[in-house]
Structure formats: structure tokens, C-alpha cells
Structure 1
């Protein structure tokens, strides 16, 4: 095909850049069903096969945020090649054991607070809420997580989120990774922005398709959580009218760290041609993910939202933003800026 493929903000032409595209996809962390891990909660399931697919997709979108934060978007993985310590540390955050901060154990048990029993299927919004809660205990990455409500991003709420000086919450879960001391609070915390949306009733409304594609073109894109009823996928891009995704529906044996602290990581990377599906087959309930490492990244994202609204039949409306909106001397007063997304 002559149409370009877009993967998380990167454009590839298949005739000349197919290997580069496949390398990019292969470098994403791929989390699937696992079996033979320690029972969740001590007496619960020792496999998430059949129920954990959205949790695994949540792990994938968060892992991509951590990769962007620690290694950069252009980092690439190759089997058997040396990787930096931060890569192994990210991977260890997701191992299937209770003391890994983003393990299936932590996510399933944190989901109980969202009204989900261990072993119950999750939707995109619920897994987003679970991720937000768990990041509060991650003192290494100190992400700010903002989940939009009612299709609306309130910029001043994001400002409060990224500049929060609050201490870590009380009663942390059973984790052993918090050994680095108190977090260092910069002026801007790296931002994980998650936007749950419903783009139709029973099927995706075709009027949303172009705007959804534009989201994958943004350099801040972390992809999309979604899929089909009771089948979750992690969508990382598109080509033509097909979405490109990583599929968590393979059951592999749980992996633990080696004696030297490393991880046998080959099963955490999808080394095959990625799956594709027609956009029109997408369930309308999704969650969009974006990562803004700096304030400038977020301002750029807001500008892109405006441009999409101007050129598309969909209007991303009511974005009242100045280029240096965090600069109080320019604003004079603290204002609330609202970005209403996917408004027809």
C-alpha cells in the first residue's frame, strides 16, 4: 500500500521503512495473559487468562509512558542486545508478583476499590482509575496522572495535578520497590493524560474516525485502550482504515528476575507482524492516552488539539489557551481553560 502507517506519533512508509516500523512495534512492551504466578491476594487466581486483558492493556499504555519518560520515544529493543538499567527497572515494575508496583496483583486488588472483584473484566475507564491510584505509590517515576471527565480537559486542573506537592498517600500497598527515598518534585511533573470517551452507542460513529486517526499522529500519543466487547486491545497506530494493535490474548508462563536482577525479556516483546482490524469494528468505549514530559509538550498538545478542530468536521471546542498559560505574570489572574473533546 502507498498509504503511510502511523505508530504513536511516528510516520512510516511501508515501501521504504517497513523494517523500521516493525522494529518500533517490537520495541513496545507487550503484556499478555500469564499463568503460574503466585495467587492474587494469597488465595486468588494464579492466572489472569480470560479476564485480565484490559488490565494487560493498561499495563502496556503505562509502560509506554514510562519508556518515554526514562528512555525516550526513539529507544529501540533488539533481542539479545544490551539495554540500559532503566529498561530493566521499568520491566520489573510489571512482573507478575505482589511486590511489583504495576503487577496484575496490584491492579486486580486496587480494582476492588473501584467496585471490581478479582477476576472480573474491566472497561477502559476503570483501568485508568486503577493506574492513577497505583502511580501515587511509584516514587521512582513520580508521574502526574490526569483522567478527563465528561470529555473535558480542564487545564487549570492539570496545572494543579502536575505541580502537586502532596506527600505520598497513607496505607500504601505491599510494595518493596519504594527504596529511593522521598520523590523530588520538579516544577512540572511528567504528565500521563488519559481521556475516556464513548464514540457512539453500539458501534463507533464514523464521524469520529478522522479525529481518532489524528490522535495517533500526535507526538504525545500513547495509543488507545479499547477493543471489542469483552476483548481488550492496545491500539498503537493505524494504516488506511485499519487500526494496528497489540493483543494480550496469549497465555504465557510468568517470568521472574534472574539472580543478577535481570529479566528474560523476549516474551515481553511482540516479535511478529502486528494485528490489524477495521476501525469500524472498534467498540465505541475507549480511552486515549497522551504523555507530556514537559510543560512545552503539553502546550504543543493543546495547539494540536486546536488544529485538529479547525480542519476536521469534529470540533475540539472551547480551548481558551495562551502560549505561556502557566506564567502567572502573563496571565495576571488564575483562569480556568477548558478543552471539550470530540464535540460534534
Structure 2
């Protein structure tokens, strides 16, 4: 009897597991590789694993590595927040993945600035006040500075309807504009044009001005197209170098209409945080406390072959001080510009004379009711063709 009973329980459990997986896969039909990821932990290898400028030995430093990943602010789809613009969507499931990735890269910049790259999240809730303030910037309500509400409405000015999918370049433009409304952080956001970072424009116009001669912390975003339909393998080593730099904020990208926040790599695989899970919106309690458990990803990180990356990406870097920026320029010269046959991007001292003059961002007038949200999904999957092709 005993054995027989166990056999039944086992069969039932197997069946239950199978149905759970089938349901899970049905829900995430666009994530074909999800099944292998569920079963798959970190690889057992001597190769170093890099996360946002930090190097790890997978075997010896597994718990440190997981704690680092878990400490990143993780933003996902949410549902049941107050409607965007009063009459718009109350969930961003299906369209907000790149906006969530944009939130993650910006949150990482703010964490590096206020808490430091070495800061770790404590799940029992003992946090510095700055951590709480950073999280508040991203809550799903209209008056949070970098909320899904603010981002979607700022996107209307970039020609995107609320509910339309954004590419990496659009999200960079939205972050640049929203940063101007942030009263707490005077963050300078520079988005490169034509794969070219202009040192003079950053130092003279962006992080300094007549009014503030001292250096403002810099969020540097470099939108790139690393190939035509697939990533050109010549860029892969340079891409890895970006994750090794201490200034690294990772990379926005993914696959068409599927955005991920890439935070590192091991061997030929990229490591990323995935926004494609829908959680309930979180209300902040009296006194501004927030239950923040759902803002930290509690599992082994996702991995993806670097060759499956869509060629449209945006690289992110954070330079808190002018020394950080100088050292970043040095690393780019040495690791990216000198070594590669095909340059990933250019770094130039002076503003190119044939370019229009560089205009530092100023606060735009925001006129939107939120009624401009998308009515049908037909528009959702037109791919973004706003990138110049690199180095043709």
C-alpha cells in the first residue's frame, strides 16, 4: 500500500507540475526560452562573471553575486494603478517593458550616486533614507518623478502614443526630459547622437552651466545599432568591455518588442533583469513607507546568448564626478577605440562643425491629457526604424 500510495502522489505531482508549466508557458508564450531558465542555475565555470563593473568568481562568490543582483531595483509590468492621464490604461502589461527597463537604468544611476555601487539591499527593511526616496521616484502614480505615468506622457511629446512600444532611443530621450523636472536630483542626462559622444558638449553644456559651475552627476546614454538584423559579431568584445567598466549602468535592449535590462555577462551569455511579469501596483503607506519586496528579483538571474540580442541597444554609464568621466574616456580609448576594427561608437573632443549646435535640454511644456493612448494593438508592433546603421 505504502509504495502504491507514493506512486500516486508522485504521478499527481508530476501532472500538477506539468500543468503548472504549461499554464506558465501559455502565459509567457513570447518567452520561448523560459522553461530552460527555470531549470537552470548559474553555470559551473571558472570564467569570471561581470555585473555592472564588478567581477565575480561564480563558484566562490555565488551568494555575493546573487545579493548584488537582488539589490538592483527591479521594475516590472504592474496592474491596477490609477489610470494614466485620468482616462488611460491602468496597467502597462504588454507595452511598458522598455519603460520599465528605462526606470531600472535610471534607478541604478541614482543608487550609485546616493548609496554607492557597493550598497546592498537588506530584505528585513533596514534602509538608508536615500533608498526610500529613490524608490518613491518610481512608484506607479502620476506625481512620482519617473513613474510609468510621467514616462508615458512625456513619450507623447516624442511622437509615441500612450501604450505604444518604445525603442531604446525613445526611452533615452524621455529620461533626458524627465530629469529636468526632478527637484531632488540635479542629474545631467546626455544622449549621444550618430554614435558619437562629444566631450566638449558634456563638460561645457551639459553638466556645467553658467549657473552651476561645479560638475553635476552625469547619466550618459549611447543609443546604437550594432548591425542590421542581427548583432554583428565584431561588436561583441566591445559590448562586454562596457559591462566591465566601473561606470557601467548596463544596456537597454532585447529583442523586437521585448525589452530587457542587461546588467552583465558570463562567457557568451548576457545577464539581464526581465520586466515581463505583471505585479499589483504598490501603494505607499502612511508616513511614506513602501513594501519593497516586489522591487527586488529573488531568483537566479536570466541569461541569453549574446548573439540573440537585437542590434538596437542603448549603453548606459554613470559618472558621479569629473574624475569618473575622465577615467571613462580613458577606458573607452584603450578598450574600445584602440582595439576594434569596427568602432562601436566614437568619442571626440570637439563638437563636429557640420553638426547643428548642441542645445542643452530645457524643460518642455507638457500638454497631454493622457487621452492619446493607443486604442488598438495594430500600432504596437511596428518596429523602430529610427536608428542610423553603424559604420556602413
Counterparts of 1:127-142 in structure 2, within 5 Å, are: 127-142=171-186
Counterparts of 1:75-114 in structure 2, within 5 Å, are: 75-114=119-158
Q: How many residue pairs get matched?
A: 310
Counterparts of 1:1-344 in structure 2, within 5 Å, are: 1-159=45-203, 160-165=205-210, 185=212, 187-308=214-335, 309-315=337-343, 319=347, 336=351
Deviations for 1:259-291, whole angstroms, at most 9, x for unmatched residues? 121110000000100100000000000000000
Q: Distance in 1 between matches of 2:391 and 2:333?
A: 12
Distance 1:301 1:232, change over 3 A: same
99-108 or 77-86: bigger deviation: 77-86
Deviations for 1:1-49, whole angstroms, at most 9, x for unmatched residues? 1101000000000111111110100000000000000000000000000
76-85 or 102-111: bigger deviation: 76-85
Distance 1:96 1:186, change over 3 A: farther
Deviations for 1:139-193, whole angstroms, at most 9, x for unmatched residues? 2110000000000011110011000256xxxxxxxxxxxxxxxxxx461000000
Distance 1:186 1:261, change over 3 A: farther
Q: Distance in 2 between matches of 1:281 and 1:135?
A: 32
Deviations for 1:93-114, whole angstroms, at most 9, x for unmatched residues? 0000000000000000000000
Is contact 2:196-2:348 (8 Å) kept? no
Give the deviation of 1:313 after TM superposition. 3.7
Q: Distance in 1 between matches of 2:144 and 2:136?
A: 7
Distance 1:315 1:204, change over 3 A: closer
RMSD over aligned Cα atoms: 1.7
Distance 1:337 1:86, change over 3 A: farther
Give the deviation of 1:213 after TM superposition. 0.2
Give the deviation of 1:337 after TM superposition. 8.3
Deviations for 1:213-271, whole angstroms, at most 9, x for unmatched residues? 00000000000000001000000000000000000000000002111211100000001
Give the deviation of 1:316 after TM superposition. 6.4
Give the deviation of 1:343 after TM superposition. 5.8
Q: Find the residue that maps to 2:60 and give its secondary structure.
A: helix
Q: Distance in 1 between matches of 2:173 and 2:210?
A: 21
1:180: which partner in 2? none
Is contact 2:269-2:304 (8 Å) kept? yes
Is contact 1:203-1:281 (8 Å) kept? yes
Q: Find the residue that maps to 2:69 and give its secondary structure.
A: helix
Unmatched runs of 5 consecutive residues or more in structure 2:
1-44, 354-389
Q: Distance in 1 between matches of 2:209 and 2:226?
A: 32
Q: Distance in 1 between matches of 2:148 and 2:258?
A: 17
TM-score, with normalisation over the residues of structure 2? 0.77
1:328: which partner in 2? none
Unmatched runs of 5 consecutive residues or more in structure 1:
167-184, 322-334
Distance 1:200 1:124, change over 3 A: same
Deviations for 1:288-311, whole angstroms, at most 9, x for unmatched residues? 000000000000000000111223
Q: Find the residue that maps to 2:260 and give its secondary structure.
A: strand
Give the deviation of 1:50 after TM superposition. 0.2
Distance 1:56 1:318, change over 3 A: closer
Q: Distance in 2 between matches of 1:55 and 1:317?
A: 24
